[in-house]
Amino acid sequence: MPSPAHHRASALAASLLAILLAAPASARVTRIVLQAPVPLTSPDTSIKPYETIAGHAFGELDPKDRLNAIIQDIELAPRNKNGKVEYEATFQIVKPVDLSNASGLMWHDVPNRGGRITIVEAERKFGDIGLSSGWQGDNQGGATPQNVGTLQTGTTNEWVKVPVAHNRDGSTITGTVLGRIVNRSGLGSQPLFVQANKFPYAPFTLDTTQARLTSRKHETMSGGVILETVIASTDWAWGKCDATTGFAGVVKFDPTDPTQICVKGGFNPALLYQVVFTAMDPLVLGVGFAAFRDLESFFKYETKDDAGTRNPLARDHKHGFSGIRWSISRGVSQSGNFLRGWLHLGFNQDEARRQVSDGMWPIIAGRRIALNFRWAQPDGVLELYEAGSEGPQWWAPYEDQVRNLPTRGILDRCRESRTCPKIIEHFGAAEVWELKLPIEWVGTDAKNDIPIPSNVRRYYIPSTTHGGGGGGFAVDAKDLPPVPNCPGNNYGTGALNGNPVPHTQTVNAIRVHFRNWVMAGIRPPPSLYPRLNKPVDNHHDDDGDDDDRDRDDRRREAQRPPDLVPPTLDAMGFPRGLPKLRDLGPHVPEAATISGQDETPFINPVLDYDWGPHFNPSDGSGVPTNFPPPIKQVIKMMVPRVDADGNEMGGVPVVLRDAPLGSYFGWNITAGGARPFHQSQNCDYTGGMIPFAKTKAERFDANGNVLDPRLSLEERYGGHAGYVAAVQAAAAKAVAMGFLLQADADALIAQAAASKVLNP
């Protein structure tokens, strides 16, 4: 029989447990403010009624907690009376009206440049829940200062309000920053922009002798600068000037728009203008990592906030809802880079030491967000001097002798805390050619394939643009995707038609696999992406769950031919004499700066920047002091091998790629015209297409000279029925390999049958 002392000890333990359970959790969302639910309509009547609930979350962080101490400058952020650092973030919940219809899975979406996200109909049909929450403090999602801190009905942006760091004595922190003005013209003043948003840091002094403004005629992809000219400090000013009188008129500084610059003689649209100056008031942007963590943790684990407001996603057994049982964080492009950085710095563990996300899906994102250092500008796009490729871009620990950095991996911290999620990542060709992806696969020396841990799956969607194209089976010129605008700050337009090869159907299949993996432990198809020559243990057992399927996968992959090669025409097997490319002679020399040969394809390489002695490249943290940063070296890049049409090999099956109507590229070429600065470079983030000739006769001119070396549609498929048969075969292959749902396969076959491809 238990002794009285045993009973007393048990009672004491129970009391302590009750106190701990009743105490506020450490993951500190202290208060939420909710708007009234708004019905979410859908044309699909099989979806049970849904609603959205928008709101604000107010949180606080313990700066002494080691999980938060990694945030750059958090020790210099203002504290509340409890010694905590405060933030405010917006969010939107998407949920079934009747939570008894909920699946228990929550998708936590990372907004891209502030854009609020609502989960798609396929996820609502499953009964899933969506959460979109703010993380980006440099532009606060486009919110104006007077709107920050208020709850607005109908807002479409997510933002987080982060603190400004100050010196310990309360004085203003200053430091060097770099801003750029691209492809703008006229006598009037021009503001500094980061992508499409205002520059987040104001000048500390208006004395132009304390800054340096230069113009540049051109920059090569490898960082070479052509014809840089220093503009005299007397020939420009901080402030606004009239578009008619320009510098000769009145230049007035506007504190609400502090980065306006006026230049004597006006801005030349053919030049890039770059200013290095002393800025003030750095934002503690890494707080956005913690805010994203804490909101997911609150809605997943907590019942109510400190004021008693109920979590609308809390378990409610009375009404048949057991709460959020699983969560998958997800981000696209910039937002996927955010997730990779978030996990690398340990933010998948909350202050209560609980795992936050069960799964993580970084989509078309091969870098880490440049967020957690002083003077960061995470809203930028991949132009010269953009940070984000420093340190490990790969999951497992791997050496980086080329950059002389320690052996590290993105999963290091979550492995230490046992909080690593299941991860699926997928990419297209644009991420290879323009977004510096290949070092994630082969490191900085490009000598070996880096092993993938067993909790990671990697899928490459070949010959596709950033995010995929619109699909379809167009063959007439008027129906082809138009020439695209190149994403970026006044970047320009492409020279080739846009690339239509889609990601949509592949993503639909991945979504199903991911849900099954997280919720039921059913593993997705093996990773499929281009590799180097050496066979690789692509599912190295780091988590103790190796089985016969893994071993079979490894044996099959070891038999695959090499699909990752240097970015030269010969190594790729790229066809010569393609129409349109043949006429782009002036663009070839730009490629030569990358490969050392006259090449039409070209790549945006990883540049090894020297940000100064106070910057930590492994974590992407610290205080950069070199502006612009010297380029120590250009990192060797690799690309997928292509077939006789120029279409990539080594990825997952895609119907339009496998039953092609043309050559599909992950790159496009920037045309000249009114915005010539980026002419000859790849059209930032954008893919291109060159359609096949319809008949054999169209491939030759009147003298029998070859106009197009590729087989025509007629030669490939015979007729319309032959093309539909090719689509059916491609769809069957993709379904069998797990990368196409049968419903999507049926829809694609029906589209092909209704198309004009070789249809009389």
What is the tens place of the pLDDT at every residue in 163-177? Answer: 999 999 999 999 999
- Please give the average per-residue pLDDT across 35-60, as a whole number: 95
Q: Of the ranges 49-58, 408-417, 542-551, 555-564, which one carries the lowest mean pLDDT score?
A: 542-551
Q: Which residues have C-beta within 8 Å of that of residue 190, sequence separation ≥ 6? A: 181, 184, 260, 261, 267, 273
pLDDT of residue 733: 98
Beta strands in 486-612 (DSSP E): 497-498, 564-565, 607-609
Q: What pLDDT, in 10s, does the model give residues 93-146? A: 999 999 999 999 999 999 998 899 999 999 999 999 999 999 999 875 444 433
> At 320, is the pLDDT very low, low, confident or very high (cuts 50, 70, 90)?
confident
- What is the rounded CA–CA span in Å between residue 112 and residue 134? 10
596: pLDDT strictly greater than 50: no
Q: Of the ranges 138-147, 424-433, 497-506, which one carries the lowest mean pLDDT score?
A: 138-147
pLDDT of residue 253: 95
pLDDT of residue 72: 98
592: pLDDT strictly greater than 80: no
Q: Of the ranges 2-16, 94-108, 201-215, 740-754, which one carries the lowest mean pLDDT score?
A: 2-16
For the chain, the average pLDDT equals 89
Report the percentage of the chain scoring pLDDT > 90: 76
> At 555, is the pLDDT very low, low, confident or very high (cuts 50, 70, 90)?
low
> At 220, is the pLDDT very low, low, confident or very high (cuts 50, 70, 90)?
confident
Report the percentage of the chain scoring pLDDT > 70: 88
> At 383, is the pLDDT very low, low, confident or very high (cuts 50, 70, 90)?
confident
pLDDT of residue 119: 97
Of these ranges, 15-24, 460-469, 531-540, 671-680, the one predicted with the greatest mean pLDDT is 460-469
pLDDT of residue 552: 62
Dihedral sign computed on CA atoms, order 425, 428, 429, 433: negative
644: pLDDT strictly greater than 50: yes
Q: Which is it for strands 105-109 and 129-133: parallel, antiparallel or unpaired? A: parallel
Q: Which of 486, 285, 290, 487 is nearest to 380 (CA)?
A: 487
- What is the rounded CA–CA span in Å between residue 546 and residue 75? 43
Tell me if 393 sits within 8 A of 410, measured CB to CB: yes
User: How buried is 416 (Cβ within 10 angstroms: 0-12 exposed, 13-18 middle, 19+ buried)?
Assistant: exposed
Of these ranges, 31-45, 142-156, 189-203, the one predicted with the greatest mean pLDDT is 31-45
> At 381, is the pLDDT very low, low, confident or very high (cuts 50, 70, 90)?
confident
Q: Which of 229, 239, 257 is nearest to 145 (CA)?
A: 257
Of these ranges, 477-491, 523-537, 608-622, the one predicted with the greatest mean pLDDT is 608-622
pLDDT of residue 593: 37
> At 561, is the pLDDT very low, low, confident or very high (cuts 50, 70, 90)?
low
- What are the residue ranges of helices labelled H in 145-221? none
599: pLDDT strictly greater than 50: no
- The owner of tokens 């980065």 is 259
> At 504, is the pLDDT very low, low, confident or very high (cuts 50, 70, 90)?
very high
> At 325, is the pLDDT very low, low, confident or very high (cuts 50, 70, 90)?
very high
> At 349, is the pLDDT very low, low, confident or very high (cuts 50, 70, 90)?
very high
- Please give the average per-residue pLDDT across 630-643, as a whole number: 95
| Interior/surface letters 152-185, b for 16+ CB within 10 angstroms, e for the rest | eeebebbbbbbbbbbeeeeeebbbbbbbbbbbbe
> At 221, is the pLDDT very low, low, confident or very high (cuts 50, 70, 90)?
confident
For residue 457, how many C-alpha atoms fall within 13 Å in the half-sphere facing its CB?
24
pTM for this prediction = 0.91
